[in-house]
Structures are given as C-alpha cells and as structure tokens.
Amino acid sequence: MGNAKFFYYPQPDGRHLVEIDLGEPLGELQSEFEHDAVDAVTQSGAIFRSVSRGGEIITIQRDRMQLGEDLAIQFDAMQNHLDRGYSVFFCADADKAWAAAVTIPPQAGIFALSVNDAVFSTITGTSVIPVADDYVVIESDNPPYIRETQEIQSISVTAGSGGTVTLKKRLNFDYTNRPVFMRHYRTWPVLKRPQADVGKAIITNEGGRLFSLSLRLVVDYQTLFAYHNGMGFGLQLIPSSPATGDLENQDGRVSLDQGMDMPNPQSGEVKKTVHSKRYGSTSFTLGK
C-alpha cells in the first residue's frame, strides 16, 4: 500500500502544486454520509421522503507521524489554506490515486463502463491506474447524490486517453442524464474543510516531540464536477513546481479552485471560464 498524500495549490496565487507526503499509511480513514431529507407521514402511516443535497464527510487520522515536526509545519500552511475556504486533493494510497469522468451516463444493470482521460493526472502522475480487484466509487452530482462502490473485474485504461472498466457485479443504480465520476474509493480530488471545524488545530503534539494529524473534510461536488470532461474537452492543471528557480508561466492552466463552471446536463451547454494573469477571467459557452 502506498503512502497517504495531500496535494493543493496555495491560494491566493495558486501557481504551483504543493505535495505533502505522510511517508506512511493512515491510522484511520472513515466516511460518513449526509442527505438533506424531509419526511411527510400520512395518517395511514405511509412515509414520503423528499431528498435534495447529499454528500460525504471524510475523517483522516494519523497518530504520532513518523516524519514529526517536518510534516507539522507543512500542515500549518495547508490548514490556513483550508480555513480560508480552498480545496485539497487527498488520497490514502498514492499508488491508486485515480479519478476519471464516465463517458456516457451508465444505466443500471451493466458491467462495462467507458471512462475518459484521468483529468487529475497532472497531480497524481500518468502511471497511476487502478487494477483488477481494486474498489472504485461511481457517483453522480447533486441533487440527488447517487453513489455506489464496485470491484473491478478487468480494466483497459490509460491516464491519457481513458478506456473501459468492467465490474464484477452489475451496476446498481441508473445514472441516465447525469454527469458521473469514477474514482478509486480512497481518492478524493476536491475536498474542503467544514465550517464547524474552521480554526481547530489539525495537528496536535505530545511534549513537542510526537505530532498527530486529525481532520475532517467534505467534498465540494460543484467544483469536482466542473472538471467532468465528458462533453469532449479537458483541462490543463498546473504541473508540479520546479525544486529551484522561478515558477514557469501558468497562463491558460487552472488549479483545483479555478477552472470551469458547472455543466448544464439538460441543455448540453458548458460555461467555461479561463483564468489568465494577462487578460483576467474570460467566460464562454460550449454548445451541444
């Protein structure tokens, strides 16, 4: 199993990619789920539930990190970035950090799904691809949030061009007319800190010698699905920064907190915003 890693583009500016490698697996990783739901109960006892927004809450913990204070000072900057409302990419296993848009919204009961290129491969690396027997999450945008976890039977995919993923069991839910992402089940491309946790230390220490990590993160689905490239185009994410020297010109590239607006599945139109240091922000619409 690979190391747990965080990636983010420090905001403001966001011209370079920062990687925080824990150097070891996590101690605890747990997901909880929330749904905004209202029940109506009739006099005869029938229950009718109205469900809108849903989402996932991830708890990440590593007690007494091996790399100690060297990691703690890196998490200090990341906490400031998160507390001001910006995003991070997290993977519990960097060797499996893969996510791709499903090319055609899948129907219930099928085994094989076509996926596009891995839009976050600039962050994770182009050699990172899941293999047979790995678990993947198939999930839609909001509302309503539809998701399931499946095991891979076989896979013929490259990071640069996508391919086909065949599941061991039939797909449970129908995702017709919905943008859908597939990702390794321990990879989350766009995470933010919940408002209730802002300001709470994500790093604690014992006597200034042993440092531990504990934080909760939630998925920003609108930003995540802004990177869905099932409409026939992709994004150029900002690459890793050089170890020394000046940062290269990043015009025309985007970070996790920049890029396209949400596609409109009903109209088939996508509003794309390009951020440029020279020209500012320019928006235009791509038709069907």
Q: 270 lies in a domain?
A: no
pTM: 0.82
- Is the pLDDT confidence value at 273 over 50? no
Quickly state the pLDDT bin for 1 (edges 50, 70, 90): low
Q: What is the DSSP letter of 263?
A: P
With a cut of 80, say whether residue 274 has pLDDT above it.
Answer: no
201 in any annotated domain: yes
Q: Is residue 243 part of a domain?
A: no
Helix (H) / strand (E) element for 79: namely helix 68-83
Q: Cβ of 222: how many Cβ atoms within 10 Å?
A: 12
What is the structure's pLDDT at 230? 67
| Residue 230: burial class (beta carbons within 10 Å; 0-12, 13-18, 19+) | buried
DSSP per residue, 109-162: T--EEEE---TTHHHH-TT----TT-EEEEEE-SSS--EEEEEEEEEEEETTTE
Higher pLDDT, 232 or 127: 127
Tokens standing for residue 72: 């703690």
Residue 260, in any domain of the structure = no
More confident residue, 26 or 247: 26
d(CA 238, CA 17): 7
Alpha carbon distance 10, 255 (integer Å):
9
Say which range, 58-72, 86-100, 226-240, has the weakest mean pLDDT: 226-240
Q: Is residue 267 part of a domain?
A: no
The total domain count for the chain is 1
Shortest CA distance to 9 belongs to which of 1, 20, 25? Answer: 20
- Predicted local distance difference test score (pLDDT) of residue 242: 74
Provide, rounded to the nearest whole percent, the portion of the chain with pLDDT above 90. 50
Residue with more model confidence, 138 or 69: 138
pLDDT in tens, 3-61: 899 999 998 888 889 999 998 888 889 888 888 888 899 989 899 988 878 889 999 99
In a domain, residue 209? The reply is yes
Place 265 in a pLDDT band, splitting at 50, 70 and 90: very low
Residue 256 lies in a domain: no
CA distances (Å), origin 270, targets 53, 58, 230, 261, 283 = 22, 30, 11, 7, 10
Task: Express each pLDDT in 154-204 by its tens digit.
Answer: 999 998 889 999 999 999 999 998 999 999 999 999 999 999 999 999 999
- Look over the chain and give the mean of its residue pLDDT values, rounded to a whole number: 84
Model confidence at 263: pLDDT above 70: no
pLDDT of residue 105: 92
Q: Which of 8-12, 50-54, 98-102, 124-128 is modeled with the greatest confidence?
A: 98-102
Nearest residue to 21 via CA among 158, 159, 125: 125
Question: Is residue 268, in this structure, part of any structural domain at all?
Answer: no
Instruction: Check: CB of residue 136 under 8 Å from CB of residue 152.
Output: yes
pLDDT in tens, 209-240: 899 999 999 999 988 988 888 654 566 787 77
Q: Where are the alpha helices (DSSP H) in 186-275?
A: 221-226
Token match 């920049």: residue?
258
Q: Which domain holds residue 120?
A: 5-32+53-238
